[in-house]
Structure 1
Amino acid sequence: MNLLKTIALIIVLSLPSVAHAQKIKAKRVKKDMQTVADWQIRHFRDTFSMKRNKPHHIADWTNAALYVGMVKWAEMADSDKYYQWLKGVGEEQKWKLHWRKYHADDHAVAQMYIELFRKYGDSTMIKPSIKGMDYIINNPSTQPITLDNYKHLERWTWCDALFMAPPVLAKLANITGDKKYTDFMLKEFKATTAHLYDADEDLYYRDNSYIGKLDKGHKTFWSRGNGWVFGGLTIIMEEYPKDSKEYAYFLDIYKKMAKKLIEIQTPKGHWAMSLLAADLYPTPEASGTAFFTFGLAWGINNGILNRETYEPAVKKGWNALTSYITKDGMLGYVQPIGAAPGKAWPDKTEVYGTGAFLAAGSEVYKMYSK
């Protein structure tokens, strides 16, 4: 009996993982995206998280991340209803930023406003965002670049912020032609990177409370936190010419992170919640995995990453993600709001996970529809 068990184990271990072996077809990618997008819109004001019992504000960062992915899906969809849904959100919010003047999380919703402005050409959609960013540039915060017991939130003192605010400034620089948005964004981005980027690992600490601390011998690099950064880099780079110094700066970080990410992806296709400690956090997690899949596929589609080298990671990542979709269309295994590795469940989700999934799908679809 022991011999038979040993033989069976050898056979199982020798088989390619399902996530790696399953072929990806563009039509199926689009179908899965629509399933998840429709489920999320139906349940937009419901809660499927372990940590909350009321919906997020429509201008909250959580929903802002959803809108980033939903805009990308709206561009692909066969129906205009997704653009209309997003437009309805903007109109309900009167195209205003969220309530905290300096807080990066409360600027993120402007990414959606700007993309709708690009589609509809209505300047009403972006006037409040321009006003808000102009105020910050003209009255920069004097808080330090450290995050100490959550006292300092006016600057980008946590890595998530690099997804929330910098893309807004990059987009405004592009549509207005005013370099002040780029100058401010680049200065602050470099300050955050100097503070939180680990050049030995090519990953970002979530904030300074994790620098120098070990979790059973492992440095703690939060998956979704690095996903925020990696996904944000692609959004920023799309706003600058490829021969610009701004593009070159972000590209350097992007390529270093991409190389690291394919080295630490788990055999099952997801990235561990603590990127260097998969043994401590074996549970799959969808939001970080989706942002990484999005960023890597984007790099391949834009001729930055070698397809032969990076496509296996995209395939494994996407197939892992689609395996988390429930029969009703919900994307499971999305870690709740947090700032560090933790827990995720197959029947729990969050709106930012859906946004990341839709963003990933938009680039995976491009990869396999050519």
Structure 2
Amino acid sequence: LFGDWQICFQTYIDLYNIQPDEHKIARAKEVMGYQINTDKNDYWWWADGLYMVMPVMTKLYKLTGDKKYLEKLHEYLSYSNSIMYDKQAKLYYRDAKYVYPKHKSSNGRKDFWARGDGWVFAGLAKVLKDLPRNDPHRKEYVNIYKGLATAILNSQQKDGYWTRSMLDPQHAPGPETSGTAFFTYGLLWGINNGILKEKQFLPSAKLAWNYLSQTALQKDGRVGFVQPIGEKAIQGQIVDANSTSNFGVGAFLLAGCEYYRFLTKHK
């Protein structure tokens, strides 16, 4: 019952929706059906897990009509918020061990990991896409999403990217693509779906896409400046044009697809 082994359920359900075949979703229904009937609520203890599993819950609700998926979504997210959401900064720590002031960046600031908040922001966009309009917790999720969007907007660097430690650019200077791409996707999704104001957020999204398409994307097709697998901004870690990883490419594609949708709507 670990997010890394459940994220694939999102794709299985998407494939089922294209061409229904029960075997595609049998394991997802078995595993998640079991999980929502346990008495635990601490499954999502790290930021990445929110991206991995929150959308599985809303997709399974749409598939089955079982409201328990939405009830447990709220229960599990409430636990996550209690241990790693900073109400003042409106951002998420990667997990409880990075909460300020127990943990600080090298310059004594709150240390929010860009890719971690990218996972959460993109995950919330996917949840809001599938969540019923009349869900009793929808407004709460929208408010968290909007708060993240504003904090993301305010921490963007002038060249369009976000640094690995969002509020302490000097902790690990320079661009990071995976977090930037997730933020770009999340901002554009909010604009495309009328949740974020275009006038306020589109310049940031365009600036970020300019970084992604002009700096991160290399001439050979490689997506560079992707921080390797990790959980924090590491001082001295080299992240350059040759640094790539599959999740960075995936985030880049999410951002590109959402920007294409924006351009298509505004022909």
Whole-angstrom distance in 2 between the partners of 1:217 and 1:311: 32
Aligned to 2:185: 294
Confirm or deny that 1:157 pairs with 2:45: yes
Asked if 1:362 corresponds to 2:261, the answer is: no
Q: Distance in 1 between matches of 2:168 and 2:135?
A: 37
After TM superposition, give the deviation of residue 366 of structure 1 in Å.
1.4
Match of 2:204 in 1: 313
Is 2:22 aligned against 1:123? yes
2:233 alignment counterpart:
341
Structure-1-length-normalised TM-score: 0.68
Aligned to 2:10: 111
Quote the Cα distance in structure 2 between the aligned partners of 1:126 and 1:195: 32
Shift of residue 122, structure 1, vs aligned partner: 1.3
8 Å Cα contact 1:240-1:246 kept in structure 2: no
Q: AA paired with 1:158?
A: W
Indicate yes or no: 2:57 matched with 1:166.
no
Take 1:113 and 1:237, find their aligned partners in 2: how far apart are those partners?
A: 19
Query: Does the Cα contact within 8 Å between 2:171 and 2:233 map onto a contact in 1?
Result: no
Q: For 1:321 and 1:369, how far apart are their aligned partners in 2?
A: 19
Matched, 1:195 2:87: no
Match of 2:217 in 1: 325
* 2:104 pairs with one of 193, 214, 227: 214
SS at match of 2:208: helix
| 3-state secondary structure, aligned to 1:268 | coil
Structure 1 unpaired stretches of 5+: 1-101, 146-154
Partner in structure 1 of residue 162 of structure 2: 271
TM-score (norm 2): 0.93
Return the letter of the residue paired with 1:255. K
- Note if contact 1:159-1:205 (Cα within 8 Å) is conserved in structure 2: yes
Q: Residues 328 and 140 (structure 1 numbering): CA distance in 2 closer, same or farther, change over 3 Å?
A: farther
Counterpart of 1:135 in structure 2 is 34
1:306-330, CA deviations, whole angstroms, 9 ceiling, x for partnerless residues?
1111011001111101121111111
Q: Does 1:183 align with 2:71?
A: yes
Take 1:164 and 1:262, find their aligned partners in 2: how far apart are those partners? 24
1:249, distance to aligned residue in structure 2 (A):
2.0
Alignment partners' CA distance in 2, 1:296 and 1:175: 27
SS at match of 1:214: coil
1:55 corresponds in structure 2 to: none
Q: How many Å separate the matches in 2 of 1:223 and 1:267? A: 16
> Aligned letter for 2:104?
L
Kindly indicate whether structure 1 or structure 2 has the higher relative contact order, using CA contacts under 8 Å at least 6 residues apart.
1
C-alpha contact (below 8 Å) 1:271/1:285 kept by paired residues: yes
SS in 2 for 1:353: helix
Q: Deviations over 1:327-350 (max 9, x none)?
A: 111101111000001332211211
Question: What is the alpha-carbon distance in structure 2 between the residues aligned to residue 282 and residue 266 of structure 1?
Answer: 10
Aligned pairs for 1:246-285 (under 5 A) are 246-285=137-176
- Higher Cα radius of gyration: 1
- Opposite residue 234 of structure 1, the aligned amino acid is A
Measure, in 2, the Cα distance between the counterparts of 1:302 and 1:188: 25
From the superposition, tell whether residues 140 and 354 of structure 1 become closer, same or farther in structure 2 (CA, over 3 Å): farther
CA deviation after TM superposition for structure 1 residue 175, in Å: 1.1
* C-alpha deviation, 1:245, in angstroms: 1.9
CA distance in 2, matches of 1:239, 1:220: 31
Taking the aligned partners of 2:136 and 2:36, their CA distance within structure 1 comes to 21
Q: C-alpha separation between the residues in 2 aligned to 1:220 and 1:127?
A: 40
Tell me the amino acid that sits aligned with residue 168 of structure 2.
A
In structure 1, the residue matched to 2:246 is 351
Return the offset for 1:302. Answer: 0.5
Of 108-117 and 273-282, the range deviating more from structure 2:
273-282
Q: Aligned letter for 1:312? A: P
Question: Which residue identity lines up with residue 210 of structure 1 in the other structure?
Answer: Y
1:9-51 residue CA offsets vs partner (Å, 9 max, x unmatched): xxxxxxxxxxxxxxxxxxxxxxxxxxxxxxxxxxxxxxxxxxx
Quick check: 2:225–2:243 contact (8 Å CA) kept in 1? yes
